[in-house]
């Protein structure tokens, strides 16, 4: 495994890998407040453009290394997560 990086370094397009080693998608959006160092989670896009991104709360994000975000849940548990829904303005912040 490569050296870990901070959540604020994550960029759209990075691979998202479940704890069983299966790649479940790519980072679509990073959710949090970098000024307060509050990481809320990720919106993860599957390969199909028509599919809605899946919301992964920060509690289910494990190690982050350049280019890859590792989850603490397996692909089966990931498949049971709900779709990401854009929050009302001001409830969450998007990291740059």
35 backbone dihedrals φ, ψ, rounded to 5°: -65, -40
Tens digits of residue pLDDT in 28-53: 999 988 888 999 999 999 876 667 89
Q: Which two tokens stand for residue 26?
A: 């790519």
pTM equals: 0.84
* Mean pLDDT, the chain cut into blocks of 10 residues (96 residues total): 88 96 94 89 81 92 97 96 70 47
Domains of the chain: 7-79 (2.30.30.240)
Helix (H) or strand (E) segment spanning residue 75: helix 75-79
Sign of CA pseudo-dihedral 74, 2, 63, 12: negative
């Amino acid at each position: 495994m490569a050296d870990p990086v901070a959540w604020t370094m994550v960029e759209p397009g990075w691979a998202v890998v479940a704890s069983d080693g299966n790649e479940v998608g790519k980072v679509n959006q990073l959710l949090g407040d970098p000024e307060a160092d509050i990481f809320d989670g990720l919106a993860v896009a599957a390969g199909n453009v028509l599919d809605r991104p899946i919301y992964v709360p920060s509690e289910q994000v494990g190690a982050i290394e350049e280019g890859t975000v590792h989850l603490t849940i397996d692909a089966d548990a990931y498949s049971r997560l709900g779709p990401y829904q854009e929050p009302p303005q001001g409830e969450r912040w998007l990291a740059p």
